[in-house]
Copies of this chain bind each other. A is one copy, B any other.
Amino acid sequence: MTKTRKKTDLPILGVHERVINASLLLFTKQGYFKTSVPDIVKASGCSTGSIYHHFKDKEGIASALYESLVMRMNLALDEIETQFPSSKQRCQAVIKLLFHITETEPEVMEFILYAKHKEFLPGNNPICSSRPFQKMREFVTAGIAEGDLQPIDDLVASASLYGGALRLIFLRLDGVIEHSLMDKLDDVWKCAWRSVAA
């Protein structure tokens, strides 16, 4: 018997999941600091006491949310690594993945990319030092070592390869771009690859 499914076998979400889900929506819609604990209580349907039984404090909620999203990202990147052999294919798959998440779960992308985590997660590393972003850079570094990419600074190469795509994601999240990023995937990739291809 798992920890979150005690009373029944019905697919009723536990407090932890309900709070995390509600917080993701609230944090991305109105920001961490403009989201009060009472807001989370209302949106999650859990009581204050319940929430504080499962989480140390408000920051703990954000922290758990952050961890879960980073973990999801890691799994997806690991899958890309096993599925594709070449650096080129991997980098392309990464951009496609990021675009896909942006279109299907914009809140997830927004929380990962746009939130100024250091403001409310003082302990955490900056997002760009977190494992998913490291992995993305590793793909690039490997590409340079294999001679597929120009022999330039890893960070410059990585920024050039992913920078365009990430910028478009910001524009999409801000509402500047109105149509699916998927439409632009090919063009974006052509530009990205051309910028660093050997």
Contact = CB atoms under 8 A, between A and B. Distances in A.
B195 A156 contact: no
Contact of A119 (B33, B126, B191): B33
Nearest to A172: B155
A128 B170 contact: yes
Contacts of A72: none
Copies of this protein chain in the complex = 2
A162 B156 contact: no
Interface residues of A, number: 43
- Which 7 A-B residue pairs are closest in the complex by CB-CB distance? A163-B163, A195-B195, A33-B33, A31-B119, A159-B167, A160-B164, A163-B164
Interface of A: 30-31, 33-34, 114-116, 118-119, 126, 128-129, 150, 152-153, 155-168, 170-171, 174-177, 184, 187-188, 191-192, 194-196
